[in-house]
Amino acid sequence: MNSNTDFTLAIEDLTVSFDGFKAVDSLNFYLDQNELHVVIGPNGAGKTTVLDLICGKTKSTSGSIKFLNEELTKMSEHEIVRAGVGRKFQTPSIYENLTVLENLEISYPYGRTVAGSLMFKRSSEVLEKINQTASEIMLQDDLDTEAGLLSHGQKQWLEIGMLLIQDPQLLMLDEPVAGMSVKEREQTAELLNKISKGRSVLVIEHDMEFVERIAHKVTVLHQGKILAAGNMEEVQNDPKVIEVYLGH
Ligand SMILES: Nc1ncnc2c1ncn2[C@@H]1O[C@H](COP(=O)(O)OP(=O)(O)OP(=O)(O)O)[C@@H](O)[C@H]1O
């Protein structure tokens, strides 16, 4: 067994059964700081379930998930967010009729409710953080734009910004470029490369061109287990991976 202390995230022997069906089966998985790790694999492989387990949405049947040495399997979803885990789902959950600035402000960790944070007086510190986040997500010129008017890609970036403003040490993204234009994909690749510095990023993705652009490491899941792991080249040339996933 690895020593957990060196990793941002250390998953050991993690299993979840749904009515006897093991969606995740004795999984071992480690993530370093500054690492951008992509999980790929066929439909039903267990990718989303792994993210659900990490963020506490699904409870494990057995095994351990250590994040910065805290055991996540014992914590509620809320506690896991506060411990520094941010997760972006496929469909954006931004507030369409609020501006970009207001969306970012709502997500600032001082206010946990919409009403609470809107009533809070904006301090220069908060504004500075909002501006810094907006430029990171390429929306610095859209602070006063209603979120509903943004392009599909910009909405996805805004949601990433709403997570970034909370300074998560682990950011998880489920198919972040689905539905994006070619240009937006390129910009998202740059964005993810930037934001993996100083934290860990875990991405589920099917678009192999995008995976190639961003991944430091790739893990291939199949039937709840790791089929292969390594850098993109190793994984792409693995006959098992070609057989169950890339060859299709
Ligand atoms: N809450 C649940 N109850 C029962 N079965 C579930 C539950 N969640 C997931 N599963 C099953 O676990 C398996 C893994 O699903 P999961 O969504 O993690 O796969 P995935 O790799 O993310 O697939 P996709 O690429 O299609 O999103 C599937 O067979 C799914 O039906």
Neighbours of 4 (CB within 10 A): 17
Look at ligand 1, atom 9, and give the residue with the nearest C-alpha: 49
Q: Tell me which amino acid residue 60 is.
A: S
CA of 23 to the centre of ligand 1 (A): 7
- Please tell me the predicted confidence (pLDDT) of residue 2: 45
Architecture of domain 1-84+208-248: 3-Layer(aba) Sandwich (3.40)
Residue from 63, 19, 87, 50 nearest 222 by CA: 50
Is pLDDT of 50 > 90?
yes
Reported ipTM: the value is 0.95
pTM, 2 dp: 0.90
Average pLDDT, the chain: 91
More confidently predicted of 87 and 91: 87
Look at ligand 1, atom 31, and give the residue with the nearest C-alpha: 44
To test the ligand 1 pocket, which listed residue (22, 38, 39, 47) has its Cβ within 8 A of the most ligand atoms? 47
Low-confidence winner among 8-12, 97-101, 114-118, 127-131 (lowest mean pLDDT): 114-118
Sheet holding 70-71, edge to edge: 21-31, 9-18, 62-67, 70-71
- Please tell me the predicted confidence (pLDDT) of residue 91: 75
